[in-house]
Amino acid sequence: MGKGREVAVTVVAAAACAVAGVMVGRRWVRRRKWAKAMGLLREVEEACDAPVGRLKQVVDAMAVEMHAGLASEGGSKLRMLLTFVDSLPNGTEKGTYYALHLGGTYFRILRVQLGGKRSSILSHDMERQAIPEHLMSSRSEDLFDFIASSFKTFVEREGNSSGFPLDQKRELGFTFSFPVKQTSVSSGILIKWTKGFEIEDTVGQDVVKCLERALERKGLVMRVAALVNDTVGTLALSHYHDPDTVASVIFGTGTNACYLERMDAIIKSQGILTASGVMVVNMEWGNFWSSHLPRTHYDIDLDAESPNPNDQGFEKMISGMYLGEIVRRILLRMSQETDVFGPVSPTLSVPFILRTPLMAAMHEDDSLDLSETSKILNDILDIPEVLLNVRKLVVNVCDIVTRRAARLAAAGIVGILKKIGRDGSSGFVSGRSRGEGKMRRTVVAIEGGLYSNYSMFREYLHEAMVELLGEEAAERIELKVTLDGSGIGGALLAASHSRQIVDTAQML
């Protein structure tokens, strides 16, 4: 019996040791894989790091590229397009003006009544209309006739409230969010369609003429006073409310910037005269590139697999279209090389499945157990039952990607301010020394949900602005949220150019 007991005890002890050994082994494997995940996180953090010294290099590169793009066509990755807009709304505009925004699979028609004083928009009405799918690949005349018919219905419904009859000429601002070669403030040749449009007979045509002829066929007497993009409309709307506005930036699905430049600084504008001596320049800054940008292999792969490789590099690092996708790619690699998420979810391999608003929701999840993060991982990426420490890991990835984007966006803005002497290095009152003068107040209009709806992006951007400018100079720079520059801004530009028989910016 004694020997039997000894054998039993020995067997039990051996089994316990084996179980303990297995548990220790599993724990060691888990720790090794967790260490691997943390190593990947540190790798991403180091690759995305954008300290102030590096940001200053990006600022300088942006200013240099701006100079190059103003000197000659094709001289820079920045296109620095002339808009021929030399007169921004200043508050003296009075009357009723219209706007058409054609920006994708829908268009908007607006009527704006101005009171003749700054910030005096007495009323505005808006109608949104979907474009039937078949018209996106039909004839140019069919598309613009459809738009003109909707415009006529909109005008007829206003009755006498606008103050003039149907056959009296109306002024219209046309916000056209497709690539055009602008030839005057009220004309532009379509370079190509995007966003699903395939109307071949419009390419190479003046889109303003296409619209005006359609309106005429419907019995409407309307003059397109200004052809603009949404960034220029945002600048116009902000300038109407605040004369210190000198630039505007869009931070949304895409990103772009424009600003007010002196004509003598636009070397490639030889032969163009403006009454004001200035012109709004559309930077198309999404295509900015510099070796100083902190690019990772995730960015390189995303670019290579995109429909436009080696194009829009800056946009792919800072805009709402791509931030969620960068996070997805990082999480996919973590899932493939560790087991922190359990078995690799096939859904995690689907490009753009993680939209930026969802990424932002995880980043800004303030619940103690990060329940919103858990819900998004489960519902969107099919990753269930994620441990709390892994949820924190996901939030950290979102933070790294967003912080880099916001800091680079800030460097872009400061690059514009540096180019026009509003960054504090030369923006003091003329004739006074640095110690005696006071830097001019400067407003940059901002539009887009990435900035207005994503508080962490906004906070990181502001933080970087202070680091780059210094606290004293940063206090004189105001980033002002502007809403509906593409609509109301277009109508305001029609108003600011309505009293001109011919464009004040014209070729000699």
Q: Are 410 and 468 in contact (CB under 8 A)?
A: yes
For residue 145, what pLDDT is reported?
96
Q: Are 413 and 57 in contact (CB under 8 A)?
A: no
Q: What's the farthest any 2 CA atoms get from each other in the chain?
A: 117
Residues 218, 210: Cα–Cα separation, whole Å? 13
**DSSP string of 347-360, one letter each residue:** GGGSTT-S-HHHHH
Which residues are designated catalytic? 195, 230
Q: Pick from 190, 218, 404, 205: which is nearest to 295 by CA?
A: 404
Look at 353 and 103; give whichever has higher pLDDT.
Answer: 353
Average pLDDT (41-63) is 97
Cross-strand partners of 171 = 223
The answer to whether the Cα torsion of 14, 16, 19, 25 is positive or negative is negative
Residues 224, 172: Cα–Cα separation, whole Å? 5
Average pLDDT (229-252) is 95
Tens digit of pLDDT for each residue in 445-496? 999 999 999 999 999 999 999 999 999 999 999 999 999 999 999 999 999 9
Look at 82 and 28; give whichever has higher pLDDT.
Answer: 82
For residue 285, what pLDDT is reported?
95
SS3 category, 169: coil
Which domains does the chain carry? 81-229+485-507 (3.30.420.40)
Residues 57, 42: Cα–Cα separation, whole Å? 24
Tens digit of pLDDT for each residue in 123-170? 889 999 999 999 999 999 999 999 999 999 999 887 655 555 555 688
Percent of the chain with pLDDT over 70: 88
User: Under 8 Å CB-to-CB from 75, ≥6 apart: which residues?
Assistant: 68, 69
pLDDT band per the 50, 70, 90 thresholds, residue 83? very high
**C-alpha pair distances (Å), 53 with each of 60, 293, 318, 406:** 11, 12, 19, 16
Q: Is 284 exposed, middle or buried (0-12, 13-18, 19+ CB in 10 A)?
A: buried
Residues 213, 220: Cα–Cα separation, whole Å? 10
pLDDT band per the 50, 70, 90 thresholds, residue 438? confident
Q: Are 313 and 115 in contact (CB under 8 A)?
A: no
Tens digit of pLDDT for each residue in 33-50? 888 989 999 999 999 999
Residue 80 DSSP label: -
